[in-house]
Structure 1
Amino acid sequence: MSYSEQLLDSIEKQDFSQQKILLKKALNNDKPEILASLAENLTDLGFTDLSKQVYRALIAKFPKEDLFKVYLAEILLNDGDDDDGLSLLYNVSESSPTYVDSLLVQADYYQTNGLLETAKTKLLKALKIDPDEDAIKFGLAELDYLSGKYEEALPIYQDLIKRQKNFSEVNLNQRIFQTLAKLGQYEDASKIIKEHSEDILDIDSKYQAGLVMLSVGDYDQAIKYLDSVIEQSPDYVNAYPLLAEAYEHKHDDNQVLHAAQTGLAYNELDQVLYSKGARAAANLKDFKTAEKLLKKGLKVAPDNNDLRLQLSNLYLSEHKDKENLDLFASIDDDDIEPQAYWNMAISYERMDNSDKAKSEFLLAYPEFKDNSIFLKQMIRFFSTEANSDEIVKQLLERYLKLVPEDYEMQDLYNQLQ
């Protein structure tokens, strides 16, 4: 048994007492090919301090063997010794058979540090030297994907998958459907998902598959993938709004409410879930739960006008007019939406505050002047107000253009002639 083998055996047995002695004996006695294998094994086991010593010894014995320099540089860069690592890589000559390997390690280093354009420059240089090397092509595709250049990445992935299904730890079918989705080509992405569902294994891919299937209207498949995400990781908070949306399309309010409440247990800041959950609860006539969700949502996001209007609509349906008006009491006029004016007009009318109701109807009118429901409510209100014949007549003229078959309103208009 070589000293290298003895060293690896002692590491496997977690006996580190002879580590330095065995390493020294290996360096002094073992053949170069055995030492090269030792260095590789030590790196794989995470003993990079030892593997660096082996590679340095090999470089000293074989200064023209650039591959050892590349391997040592890769370890140095991973350990944060950037200057020494890059120095080794840049000292590899362009005429060296290991120059492409040097460029690949450089590209990986620059990509890891966010210098994507520099990394791409290195890979393009490598591709010019070795245009048939798939590792280089894959690296370029990954850089384009990370840079948002999906049109450039897609044909490279599609070319690579003709020869292999996986590259490194990346499943190419996953990458292709993800890239198609990024390009907005959801139908094509969904076909890849359906044809290669067995390849969609990791949780992020399942989430993205759920998003794609939701986008193409395949709600059952969307639910399948999103349920799988949540089963695998219940705190994957982004899945819950999509799951609730899928169930909304299936008109399953019970499941929408369940998805919203479960998601909020993991992320109480998700304003979408408050809205969807409250809407589902209201559809189920569970007004107490709907009100509770909307109130809590407004505590989390007091400036969320959509939640406020949703709660206002709920209060109107329950005839809680004071609560409805209180919702907007502290809101600046510039921040009040037209729908809020309409809602307040109804509450003021119910509370016999005609002046306020009149004001709110008039403020809402510019936005809803072509809304027949609003116009009819406004007509009914102003019909009870003194000296309002002219405005009622104008409202009726606009309303009857929209709903000419409303004979009740036509009769009222005739009476005002």
Structure 2
Amino acid sequence: MTYSEQLLDAIEKHDFSQGKILLKQALDNDDPEVLASLAENLSDYGFSDMAKEVYRALIAKFPQEDLFKVYLAEILLNDGNDDDGLSLLYNVSKTSSSYLDSLLVQADYYQTNGLLETAKDKLMEALGIAPEEDAIKFGLAELDYMSGQYEDALALYEDLIERQKTFGEVNLIQRLFQTEAKLGRYEDASEVIKKNSGSIIDIDSKYQAGLVMLAVGDDDQAIKYLDQVIDQSPDYVNAYPLLAQAYEHKNDNEQVLRSAQAGLAYNELDETLYSMGARAAANLNELDTAEELLKKGLEVASDNSDLRLQLSNLYLHERKYQDNIDLFAELDDENMEPQVHWNLALSYQYLDKSEKAKSEFLLAYPEFQNNPDFLKQMAIFFNTQANSQDVVKQILDKYLKLEPEDQDMQDMYNQII
């Protein structure tokens, strides 16, 4: 057994007592091929300091072997020693057989550090040297995708898929339909999914497939993929709002509510699920459930005006007028939406608090002065107030232009002119 083998065997047994001694013996006695393998294994095991020592010894013995310099540079860059690593890579001559390897390591370094244009320049130079190398094409495709060059990425992914459906751990089918979707070609993306359904195996691909099928209105297929995501990983929280949305499109309120409640069990911070679940519960006339969901949602996100307004609408429906007023007690007028003022106006009206109702109607009026439902309610209210004939006439003038066939309101108008 070589000293290199003894060292690796000791590492696998977690015996590090003789590590330095065995490494020195390996460097002094083992053949270069064995040492090269040792350095690679040490690097894989995470013993980068030992690997660097081996590569430096090999470079000292074989100064013309640039591949050892590339391997050492890669370790140095991974360890954060950028200057020394880049210096080694840039000193590899263009005429060297290892120049291509140097370019690939440089590209990876620049990509990792967010310098995508520089990384692409390195890969384009590499592609000129090895135009049939799929690893380079894949690297370019990923860079183009990351930098928003989707047309260029699409062409490269399509070329790669002719020979393989995956590259390393990356599902190329997923990349292909995602790129189509990024280009706004959702129908094309959905066709890719349909033709390659057997290749959509990993959970992220299924989620993305569900997202695309939802975008093209194929709710059944969206549900199929999203159900698979949740079956595979119930805590995949992003799938639940999409699943609820697909069922909402199908007017399946029971499944919307079930999906929302299931999702909230894993992520109680999802404000969208509170809203969707409450809406579905209300449609099912499960008003207590709807109210409970909205109250919990506001406990999680007290500043969510949509949830607050949704609860306000529910209170009006349930004739819980004081609850509706209390819901906005802590808010200033400038933080209230016009719909809130309308809702408060109705609540105060039904509680016979006319002055406050009048104020709220007037605050809501600028936004809803062309809304016939609002104008009718406002006219009916002000018609009960003393000295309000002029206001009622102005409101009815607007209303009857929008709803000239409303005989009851026309009669009211005739009575005040």
2:89 is the alignment partner of 1:89: yes
What does 1:142-153 correspond to in 2, within 5 Å?
142-153=142-153
What SS is found at the alignment partner of 1:298?
helix
2:294 is the alignment partner of 1:294: yes
- Counterpart of 1:268, as a letter, is E
Q: CA deviation at 1:137?
A: 2.4
2:260 aligned partner: 260
* Aligned-partner Cα distance in 2 for 1:155–1:316: 56
2:381 is the alignment partner of 1:381: yes
- Counterpart of 1:193, as a letter, is I
1:40 aligned partner: 40
What does 1:26-65 correspond to in 2, within 5 Å?
26-65=26-65
- Counterpart of 1:214, as a letter, is L
What does 1:127-146 correspond to in 2, within 5 Å?
127-146=127-146
1:356 aligned partner: 356
2:121 aligned partner: 121
1:204 aligned partner: 204
* Aligned-partner Cα distance in 2 for 1:385–1:5: 98
Deviations 1:385-407 (CA, angstroms, capped at 9, x unpaired): 33334433333343333333333
Do the aligned partners of residues 403 and 69 (structure 1) sit closer, same or farther apart at CA in structure 2, a change above 3 Å counting?
A: same
What SS is found at the alignment partner of 1:137?
helix
Deviates more, 1:363-372 or 1:60-69: 363-372
2:409 is the alignment partner of 1:409: yes
- The answer on whether the counterparts of 2:174 and 2:208 sit within 8 Å (CA) in structure 1 is no
What SS is found at the alignment partner of 2:247?
helix
1:70 aligned partner: 70
- The answer on whether the counterparts of 2:134 and 2:160 sit within 8 Å (CA) in structure 1 is yes
Q: CA deviation at 1:347?
A: 0.9
- Counterpart of 2:113, as a letter, is N
* Aligned-partner Cα distance in 2 for 1:11–1:298: 55
Deviations 1:115-158 (CA, angstroms, capped at 9, x unpaired): 32332232233234444433222212212222233333222222
Give TM-score, length-normalised by structure 1.
0.89
Do the aligned partners of residues 378 and 63 (structure 1) sit closer, same or farther apart at CA in structure 2, a change above 3 Å counting?
A: same
* Aligned-partner Cα distance in 1 for 2:38–2:97: 23
Deviates more, 1:326-335 or 1:101-110: 326-335
Do the aligned partners of residues 393 and 10 (structure 1) sit closer, same or farther apart at CA in structure 2, a change above 3 Å counting?
A: same
* Aligned-partner Cα distance in 2 for 1:368–1:385: 20
Q: CA deviation at 1:313?
A: 0.5
RMSD across aligned positions (CA): 2.6
Q: CA deviation at 1:324?
A: 0.8
What does 1:122-271 correspond to in 2, within 5 Å?
122-271=122-271
2:106 aligned partner: 106
Q: CA deviation at 1:367?
A: 1.8
* Aligned-partner Cα distance in 2 for 1:313–1:15: 70
1:304 aligned partner: 304
Give TM-score, length-normalised by structure 2.
0.89
* Aligned-partner Cα distance in 2 for 1:356–1:13: 81
Deviates more, 1:32-41 or 1:317-326: 32-41
Q: CA deviation at 1:105?
A: 0.4
Q: CA deviation at 1:294?
A: 1.6
Q: CA deviation at 1:374?
A: 1.8
- Counterpart of 2:252, as a letter, is D
What SS is found at the alignment partner of 2:63?
coil
Q: CA deviation at 1:9?
A: 5.6
Identity of aligned residues (%): 74
* Aligned-partner Cα distance in 1 for 2:321–2:40: 76
* Aligned-partner Cα distance in 2 for 1:55–1:285: 73
* Aligned-partner Cα distance in 1 for 2:76–2:29: 26
What SS is found at the alignment partner of 2:237?
coil
- Counterpart of 2:166, as a letter, is N
Q: CA deviation at 1:315?
A: 0.7
What SS is found at the alignment partner of 2:92?
coil
What SS is found at the alignment partner of 1:227?
helix
* Aligned-partner Cα distance in 2 for 1:80–1:201: 36
1:343 aligned partner: 343
Deviates more, 1:36-45 or 1:368-377: 36-45
**Could you list the runs of 5+ residues in structure 1 that have no partner in the other structure?**
none
* Aligned-partner Cα distance in 1 for 2:71–2:105: 9
**Could you list the runs of 5+ residues in structure 2 that have no partner in the other structure?**
none
Deviates more, 1:114-123 or 1:246-255: 114-123
- Counterpart of 1:337, as a letter, is E
What SS is found at the alignment partner of 1:235?
coil
- Counterpart of 1:165, as a letter, is K
Deviations 1:289-329 (CA, angstroms, capped at 9, x unpaired): 22222222223222221111111111101111111112222
* Aligned-partner Cα distance in 2 for 1:232–1:81: 41
Do the aligned partners of residues 382 and 81 (structure 1) sit closer, same or farther apart at CA in structure 2, a change above 3 Å counting?
A: same
